[in-house]
Amino acid sequence: MIFASYNNIISPLGFSTEENFHAVTHSKTGVRKIIFPFATEPFCVAKIDDEKIKEHVSVIQAPESFTKLEQLSILSIQDVIRKSGLDPSGERTLLLYSTTKGNIDVLENSYPHMNPNRVYLSELGKQLQSYFKFKHTPLILSNACISGILGIIVAKRLIETKQYDNVIVCGGDILSEFTMSGFKSFNALSGDPSKPFDANRTGINLGEAVASILITNQKTYAGKYDAEVVAGASANDANHISGPSRTGEGLFQCLQQILKDNHSEIGFISAHGTATPYNDEMESIAFERSGLSEVPVNSLKGYYGHTLGAAGVLETILSLESMKHQRLIKSEGYEIKGISGHITMIDRHKEKAFNSFIKTASGFGGCNAAALFKKIN
């Protein structure tokens, strides 16, 4: 059995999983309008307060020698190591890092005192390896917006094939002029807080976060969650590099794959729900085609924006909390149905008895992924 265990979230809504879960269940959102030095108009984003970061990084040795993403990643991974008691230098332990752009702010010359090669993702891995003394070189996965959830699926497979017993999956991405201007050029950003699946949705809010979770086959590290990673799959639409398949082909294929041996009732779906017109529409069609019309659905992008490589890990962790507390989290921003597929949105926080959920994601390059998690009785 493969457990989804100790975890941490660092986001605008807090520096621990508990703080984050408390915030979202009290309908707090991290999304704000901010004017950045490089732009004249404000961006509606979920940004971590710089002062808060300063307070927290004091526990890191020589924090100035690390980039912002590295600092946040160290804090997040440290929390998981401390809580679980896992030895990072163990032969059977791996760090898997999921990110889309990593230290892309190095290209923007944000750290003139650092070696420019820090922009390489393997350098990010090396920094984290040497800080924690991981025995193995961290494995880096960069697969657009499915990076986070795919990281958890890859971790499960590495454990299944007996290469490791413990994999810490850390997903992280920061706000940068690079990604903000890029998504803007795609006309994909909303000027207001995003409204996933709503009729009046106009696009994405970008966000920044780092989230880490221990995936393990060791009962001793299973923690208080008693949750299992049951199945996971990815698939490609083979349709277009920036637009999703109109029929949700790839996501449908993923769902078929994870549901084929698992017919029992699904508690809820944590959707990707970026609030772009095409993404949400596509997801609704894929869910309906998969016979999941009656299963409650939320998107957490209304609280965190789209945190890219972190999203899948962050949203899985909050969904595990949801399952632990038997509480469904409201899909923030949703008011009026704005998709053609028949699905059931979670329109308010509510209690529910359930023991499984699905996490999905889709991204540029036509990629899709889905994973099924279950409570262990």
Partner 1 sequence: MDALIEKLKGQIIEQLNLAEVKPEEINPDSPLFGEGLGLDSIDALELIVLLEKHYGIKIQDPKDGKTIFQSLRTMAEYIKSQGKS
Partner 2 sequence: MNAITSYAHIKHNTVTVNGTVVFKSASSVSIHEFLLESYKFLAMNYPKFHKMDVQCKLAIIATEFALRETALLTENDLAKIAIVFSNHASSLDTDKAYQNSISDKSNYFPSPAIFVYTLPNITIGELAIRHKITGENAFFVCEKFDPALLINYCESLYLNGIDAVIAGWVEAETNNDEAFIFLSESQRNTNKNAIFKPLNQTTLTELYNLT
Residues forming contacts to partner 2 in the complex (CB under 8 A) are 38, 100-102, 104, 107-108, 119-122, 137, 139-144, 146, 150, 154, 157-158, 160-161, 163, 177-178, 181-182, 184-186, 233-242, 249-250, 253, 257, 363-367
Rounded-to-integer distance, Cα 309 and Cα 154, Å? 14
Q: Measured from the CB atom, is 191 or 291 closer to partner 1?
A: 191
Q: Please list the alpha-helical segments (H only) found in 45-120.
A: 50-57, 68-84
Q: Measured from the CB atom, is 90 or 182 closer to partner 2?
A: 182
**DSSP character string of 265-277:** PP-EEE------H
Q: Is 262 in the site for partner 1 (CB under 8 A)?
A: no
Give Cβ neighbours of residue 108 (< 8 Å, ≥ 6 apart). 176, 177, 178
Choose the stretch contacting partner 1; rule: CB under 8 A; options: 35-43, 108-116, 235-243, 262-270: 235-243
Q: How far is the CB of 125 from partner 2 (least distance, A)?
A: 8
Q: Smallest Cα–Cα separation from 148: which of 126, 170, 174?
A: 170
CA-CA-CA-CA torsion for 207, 4, 125, 109, nearest 10 degrees?
A: 10
Which partner in partner 2, partner 1, none is near 243 (CB below 5 to 8 A by kind)? Answer: partner 1
Choose the stretch contacting partner 1; rule: CB under 8 A; options: 37-45, 89-97, 103-111, 238-246: 238-246
Which partner in partner 1, partner 2, none is near 157 (CB below 5 to 8 A by kind)? Answer: partner 2
Choose the stretch contacting partner 1; rule: CB under 8 A; options: 127-135, 234-242, 304-312, 365-373: 234-242
Query: What is the bridge-based pairing of β-strands 166-173 and 93-98?
Result: parallel
Q: How many CB atoms lie within 10 A of CB 329?
A: 27
Q: How far is the CB of 105 from partner 1 (least distance, A)?
A: 24
66 is written with which tokens?
């690390």
Q: How many CB atoms lie within 10 A of CB 359?
A: 28
Report which secondary-structure segment, H or E, holds 8: strand 3-10
Give Cβ neighbours of residue 166 (< 8 Å, ≥ 6 apart). 86, 90, 92, 93, 94, 159, 214, 215, 216, 217, 218, 221
Give Cβ neighbours of residue 109 (< 8 Å, ≥ 6 apart). none
Looking at 63, 90, 182, 243, which residue binds partner 1 (CB under 8 A)? 243
Binding pattern to partner 1, positions 107-146, x when CB under 8 A? Answer: ----------------------------------------
Q: Measured from the CB atom, is 63 or 243 closer to partner 1?
A: 243
Q: Is 40 in the site for partner 1 (CB under 8 A)?
A: no
Which partner in partner 2, partner 1, none is near 19 (CB below 5 to 8 A by kind)? Answer: none
Q: Is 185 in the site for partner 1 (CB under 8 A)?
A: yes
Which partner in partner 2, partner 1, none is near 63 (CB below 5 to 8 A by kind)? Answer: none
Q: Exposed (0-12), middle (13-18) or buried (19+): which is 109, by Cβ within 10 Å?
A: exposed
Rounded-to-integer distance, Cα 72 and Cα 69, Å? 5
Q: How far is the CB of 365 from partner 2 (least distance, A)?
A: 3
290 is written with which tokens?
């998969």
Applying CB under 8 A, the residues found at the interface with partner 1 are: 185-187, 240-243
